[in-house]
Amino acid sequence: MSAVIDAIGFDTLRALRAERPDAVQEALSRRVRRDVVRGDGRLFIVAADHPARGALAVGDRDDAMASRYLLLERLAVALGHPGVDGVLSTPDIIDDLAVLGLLDDKVVVGSMNRGGLRGSAFEMDDRFTGYDMPSMVRSGIDFAKVLLRVNLADTGTASTLEATAHAVTAAAEARIPIMVEPFLSRWVDGRIVNDLTPDAVVLSIAIAAGLGASSAYTWMKLPVVPDMARVMEATTLPTLLLGGDSGTDPDETFSSWEDALALPGVRGLTAGRALLYPPDGDVAGAVDAAARLVHTDL
């Protein structure tokens, strides 16, 4: 992959962060914004909020996302595609992208809770450690995202449910769309495993959709699982598919996305690692293929 951001760009970014921290807010304030939903009414969002939860692995590489420079390069490639509507990440990465001038005419999605660090003893404690609603309004963030892992055997889940409900209420009051990414989760051999059976996903939707004082601005962000048609019958809320890791067979992954994108209620795709770190290294090719699944008029 050829360099999209040259050494001067990274030098400027580092210098501004050290010498002119106000440049971050200035960049966010002057970026060209767009309507969240427009044109064909579908959204293709590239996700990059994994590092803040200590999740750097992709496939069999534990440190795949360790280089911030490489991640920004790959995000620049993705955001340069006309079929990519926006990016989802934490403030550190969004701030970098804003200063680099890569967010014009893109939907910016702020990730709110990354506190349940991967592999930690407190992984189920998905505290809100990223954006909050006042900061998103102040920075002109267009969309919010929360992770909601529900462990019926862990009493700590109650506080996550409450915090998520407050976030949904605050988003509705601010008229900012908020995507909730729900899972039923459990401890297995010392690690958290999400239950990806259709029944579990349906139950997670029912729990997530009822959170907050208003669902007017709530979206779902759901994994692609077997029997997705039945899963999508569990909600009337607009839904984005969760891309996840493509694993060893990207063709199978893309095929499953294509089938699910045709279902009523599905409004697009949010994918990160499968596109930014494809097995063959062709970021532009992976992004283009996914964009054409979401926006069939490209």
* pLDDT in the model for residue 249: 78
Report in angstroms the alpha-carbon separations of 63 from 76, 78, 215, 250.
20, 21, 38, 20
* pLDDT in the model for residue 170: 98
Phi, psi (rounded to 5 degrees) for 143: -150, 150
Residue carrying structure tokens 């019958």? 233
Instruction: Find the mean pLDDT for residues 33-47.
Output: 97
* pLDDT in the model for residue 46: 98
* pLDDT in the model for residue 246: 63
SS3 content of the chain, % helix, strand, coil (to 5): 40, 20, 40
pLDDT at 140 over 60: yes
* pLDDT in the model for residue 4: 83
What are 176's two structure tokens?
């900012």
- Domain 7-294 is of which CATH architecture? Alpha-Beta Barrel (3.20)
- Taken in order 72, 104, 222, 168, is the CA torsion positive or negative? positive
Phi, psi (rounded to 5 degrees) for 196: -105, 25
Instruction: Find the mean pLDDT for residues 12-29.
Output: 97
Contacts 24+ apart (CB under 8 A), 74-77: 74/1, 74/276, 74/277, 74/283, 75/46, 75/48, 75/102, 75/276, 76/4, 76/5, 76/100, 76/102, 77/1, 77/4, 77/283, 77/284, 77/287
Integer Cα distance of 63 and 65 in angstroms: 6
Question: Got the DSSP string for 245-272?
Answer: --TT-HHHHHHHHHHHHTSTTEEEEEE-
Average pLDDT value over all residues in the chain: 95
Instruction: Find the mean pLDDT for residues 276-288.
Output: 95
Instruction: Find the mean pLDDT for residues 58-62.
Output: 89
Distance in Å from the first CA to the final CA of the chain: 23
* pLDDT in the model for residue 248: 62
- Note the pLDDT tens digit of each residue in 212-260: 999 999 999 999 999 999 999 999 999 999 987 766 678 899 999 999 9
Calculated CA dihedral for residues 15, 47, 221, 82, nearest 10 degrees: 100
- Note the pLDDT tens digit of each residue in 61-96: 899 999 999 999 999 999 999 999 999 999 999 999
User: If DSSP codes are grouped into helix, strand and coil, which group holds residue 101?
Assistant: coil
* Out of 4-8, 39-43, 261-265, least confident range: 4-8
Calculated CA dihedral for residues 269, 271, 275, 276, nearest 10 degrees: 140
Write the single-letter amino acid at 73.
Answer: E
* pLDDT in the model for residue 199: 98
**Residue positions counted in the chain:** 298
Burial of 189 (0-12, 13-18, 19+ CB in 10 A): exposed
Whether 168 contacts 200, CB under 8 Å: no
pTM over 0.85: yes
pLDDT at 98 over 90: yes
Nearest in space to 227 (alpha carbons), one of 253, 263, 255: 263
* pLDDT in the model for residue 17: 97
* pLDDT in the model for residue 60: 85
Instruction: Find the mean pLDDT for residues 274-279.
Output: 94
- For residue 7, count other CB atoms closer than 10 A to its CB: 9
Bridge partner list, 194: 185
* pLDDT in the model for residue 250: 83
pLDDT at 1 over 60: no
